[in-house]
Amino acid sequence: MKFGVITFPGSNCDEDLIFTLRENLGQEVVNLWHKDTDLQGCDFVFLPGGFSYGDYLRSGAIARFSPIMNEVIRHAERGGYVMGICNGFQILTEAHLLDGALIHNNTMSFVCKNVWIKPATKNTILTRKLEDRAYKIPIAHGEGNFFCDQDTLKRIEDEDRVLFRYCDEKGQQSEGSNPNGSLNNIVGITNKGRNVFGMMPHPERAADPILKNIDGVYMLESLLSV
Amino acid sequence: MKFLAKINIMPREELLDPQGKATILGLNNLGFQGVENLRVGKRIHLQLEAASSDEASAKVQEACNKLLHNPIMEVFEFELVGLN
């Protein structure tokens, strides 16, 4: 599988993601620029974390209209794989490729720490190889509070489109294990076609043995067996 | 004709506004008593050319719907002022 990682002005996790895919997972990766108008034949496109366009107006709102996004939307509509991490997730909701929105954390603070998340479905290429346990993955965001109206929430849950939920170390879901106020502890979701993914935590920051945590590798490896 | 659109964007009433909540703590620390429900929104001024105020209004509406506000989390209203 050929991966593409898009750099927007203000992206800051693009290099980490490229390193992880190339060095830790041995995959072919190209770096795409937000002004590009083709995806260079990539099968899987990543929108990385960061602060695209300075988070001005709303997180992800301006990046959503970068020239490359026309291609990303076309790719997704053809069934191509797209995943947004953190700011990438915010961009995908602004682009209406994923439901809902990421609003200000209810904690009145930027949260930067390791959190525990548990797979909520086996039925996606991102989660199908994962065990039924809590995975430790870092978050770093001020606007990661997943919100949508009740009808949309019901649809997402009825269609088994929640990827992970925040939990404690033992995998128990509680209000205390929710770092940002996300509805029903939702960490990330997929679309109806199950080819577009968004999540706030950063698997690429937990993917190298030198960091003493490779829980992120298991998620990214799951993508490889398509 | 040239118009100035004065656009107000506010977080939806049903949503917690952490920015407002933090700001009211500052007012309380300053000694303000009996102040409540502070909510922080955005004010956008935008100049535009249009043949009529109806056309200007439609343009502003479109700009708000496509980019300036996100209906999931915000509501907006605006007024138009003729500049010539």
Tell me the mean pLDDT in the region A9-27. 97
Interface check A57 vs B, CB under 8 A: yes
Are A115 and A201 in contact by the 8 Å Cβ rule? The answer is yes
Instruction: Specify the CATH superfamily of domain A2-225.
Output: Class I glutamine amidotransferase (GATase) domain (3.40.50.880)
A127, pLDDT greater than 90: yes
**Is the Cβ pair A103, B67 closer than 8 Å?**
no
Which residue in chain B is spatially nearest to A61 when comparing CA positions?
B67
Write down the pLDDT at residue A175: 87
**Is the Cβ pair B67, A65 closer than 8 Å?**
yes
**Is the Cβ pair B73, A103 closer than 8 Å?**
yes
Q: How far apart are CA B24 and CA B27, in angstroms?
A: 5
Tell me the mean pLDDT in the region B51-73. 97
Residue with tokens 């138009």: B80
Q: How far apart are CA A125 and CA A219, in angstroms?
A: 9
Q: Which of A94, A108, A148 sits opposite B18 (nearest CB)?
A: A108
Tell me the mean pLDDT in the region A56-67. 96
Tell me the mean pLDDT in the region A18-46. 97
Encode pLDDT of B3-55 as tens digits. 999 999 999 999 999 999 999 999 999 999 999 999 999 999 999 999 999 99
How far off is chain B from A109, nearest CA to CA, in Å? 9
Residue B36 lies in a domain: yes
Our count of domains for chain B comes to: 1
Tell me the mean pLDDT in the region A2-25. 97
- Which range of residues forms the domain containing residue B51? 2-12+30-82
Tell me the mean pLDDT in the region A153-162. 98
Residue B42 lies in a domain: yes
Residue B53 lies in a domain: yes
**Residues on chain B touching A101 (C-beta within 8 angstroms):** 70, 72-73
- Domain limits, chain A: 2-225
Predicted complex ipTM:
0.91
pLDDT band at residue B84, thresholds of 50, 70 and 90? confident
pLDDT band at residue A225, thresholds of 50, 70 and 90? confident
Encode pLDDT of A36-48 as tens digits. 999 999 999 999 9
Distances in Å between the Cα of A58 and the Cα atoms of A47, A51, A221, B46, B68 are 17, 10, 32, 17, 9
pLDDT band at residue A226, thresholds of 50, 70 and 90? low
A51, pLDDT greater than 90: yes
The CATH number of residue B37's host domain is 3.30.1280.10
Residue with tokens 């980490």: A16
